[in-house]
Structure 1
Amino acid sequence: MWGTAFLPLAAASGCSWAPLPGDEDFRDGPPTVERRFTRCAVALDAAGGHQSGLFQTLAFGAAPDVSVFSDEMVRTCSEGLIFKEVFINHRYLAATEAPEMARLDGRQKWVRVGACVPKPCGEVFADLALPRLLEWRGKSERYHPAPGPCASEENSEFNDGACYAFLNREIFWEHCMAGTLVWRLLSDASFFDRLFGAQIRSLPEDELGASDQPEHQQAALAHYKACRLGGGSYFGVHFNAMAQLAEGYELGMCLPSLHTSWSPSMDPMLEWWLGSRMSRFPDIDVDADSVQAFELVHRSELGVRWAVVGLGRSGTTSLAAWLDTHPRLQLLHHPGDFFREGSFEYLFRRSHLEHLVRKAEIQAVKARPGVLVGIKEPSLLRSDRGRQMLAEMKRTKVLIIVKNWADWLKSSLLFATPACTPESITRRTRVGLGCCY
């Protein structure tokens, strides 16, 4: 897959400013635009990527006064780095929501911007290094394209119309977003590589209450939290491996985040990154046609505000149904579940307590405006994993029903009789047979 993934990746590129890399671009050779981009991205990653202090050296309006820098920043600018400057059109700063726009004179069209960057970034400072620094500074998921015609080496006349047209095209053109994602990956390769490969499958049903083997769960959640903290999105990627025995894999992968929905034009980028990571395992070849990706989020992001838990056969179904009649409360449950459980299929189901859930499932929850949503799952209180899930939902009010043990035992025994399910009782009552006790 490492070889085949580059072809669709290059074909998907529509960016006028960012040539997509090919395998040969990582080797020495003539200083082509591709190699200059790659060498700058590698240098930014080596300098610490978005976790470095490079963005703190950004200076607007004039060269920075080094005397006001902290000792750490002085060292940052002196250890193998150079200070580069470029003039930026005010339209670009507005489009990328730079806070410096608030301090600009309305007549000022060019803004002098400089920063300390690795030496390999000198020739592609405006196209690659500056967008990354602006993005890292704000810890933002916002899309930052290269300035293109909105940048100049001199403070001179400029074509404002060309800058305006460029921003309208590059910021909203999803092909260009896919290309930008590649350079965000390469500029932070060590960060994204560190968060690749956590197993994100469900816990087996027979281990729901076990606490002695939490490795998979802890690894997946740790990767997810680190990814989100770093401004990324966490994906579950399923693919088949072409080896002696065909096996299916489902691994976690951190990717740069965008305030946009995932589109087919971004799939080649994901496949390219997957291929580059899996190429380290020579015994596994990825079947490119089998790759499926879905964004994952933590269950607590559903926003459940109340939960009816406790012992079954204690009135939990009646309480949940009663609360659901309140105009400001909404019970999440599967429509076909008589017991009002099974909230959105597997999100809280006792047999599929996954570490992370698909974002699409979370987005499918359509709560009414101003309404507090809740669930009813008595099984959550019975296992270590279920109680942990309740603790993870920090904003959730937990409602626990208790019942006299003798009454509970009687109800449980009667309910356990095959002929005495709620459905059979309803059916027998309709035909006039009465209760089956």
Structure 2
Amino acid sequence: MIQPDITADIAEAGERRIEWAARSMPVLQAIGAGFGADRPLDGMRIAACMHVTAETAVLLGALQQGGARIALAASNPLSTQDDVAEALRTYGIAVHARAGVDKATYYRHIHQALDIAPHVVLDDGCDLVNTLHTERVELLDGVIGGCEATTTGIIRLRQMASENALRFPMVAVNDTRTKRMFDNRYGTGQSTLDGIMRATNVLLAGRTVVVAGFGFCGRGVAERAKGLGARVVVTEIDPVKALDAALQGYDVRPMSLAAETGDVFVTVTGNRDVIRAEHLAVMKDGAILANAGHFDVEIDVRALEEMAREVRFGIRPNTDEYVLEDGRRLLLLAEGRLVNLTAAEGHPAAVMDMSFSAQALAVAWLVRESAQMDPGVYDVPADIDAEVARLKLAAAGISIDALTGDQEEYLHSWRIGS
């Protein structure tokens, strides 16, 4: 009896998923075609630690067209799409990732990706760069630079740079205008609420949603929740961001007070212990806890475990119910990991088209310019950001105005008065 080729079936399912994403990523596909002609990455070995999703596959395909050899590890084991991983292997990309692995296996996969001896690194959260600088220092001299695509990772990189610990240039892809506005704001906003609703089937209209952090990601979550009819409370430590939230009409208060009234809590800060034991102690029965920050440290899950007399794992997909001593039930989504990539499918492909297009162009720029760059954190050149926006507008059939000659002269002259 001939056994069916299960691996081939999985790879085929992943290929279909990648093709579907690619339909909404015309800019990145065009960049990939250009890379195929120009081959700006010939001979480059790239180690990547990223979410293993269909959208990531389209990015890696573009880099591969440019001549790169790629090894990939997952930046979050719960976001890995196993069918996409299998499809990528058929493309000749070395994928070291599997959904749901433990912490030890997660880091083993990072080491396996680094075994390629990379020239360029791509990171989501700085775990790969951190591992390079602490456990794989023998590879550092061969690295010409890399890109980081998360707020959390850039915070860590800037700290490394301030301590003169960073050994090569890293490009802060997360900090482009297109990434912050569209990926962080619209992508995170939509996909986070998508994950919450898939996991719980909760009606947000009329509920109180507490958003911890009012950066670009938190702003997106707050806007989408408000649009669905929720009452939105914002918690912040930054007075300027708190004022911004207040002037936009949100109720701003400390978490100690918000904890008593919230129905749904979303952490989006990039910091740890945003929701702690003292907050859990006063929450309503049935309160929902979700994290949209990169690492699973924003909700103190250990404190929640210690407070619970019973845990009902998998009460719904990606939903665990913690029953406290007084009978209150708190619902933790996605084990406190990224809810939008664990309970849903992450950002829409149309959003990732811009983020990954900027990343692809930044990689090519880095390879071209790295010899003139010292170790440190660099912004993506403004012309790359603007080019991505122009290409996206063109793909959408949207045209905009151009400056006239007189307007150009006016903007560049201090001699013209009122």
Query: Into which bin does the TM-score normalised by the smaller protein fall?
Result: under 0.3
Which protein shows a greater Rg?
1
TM-score, structure 1 as length reference: 0.21
TM-score, structure 2 as length reference: 0.22
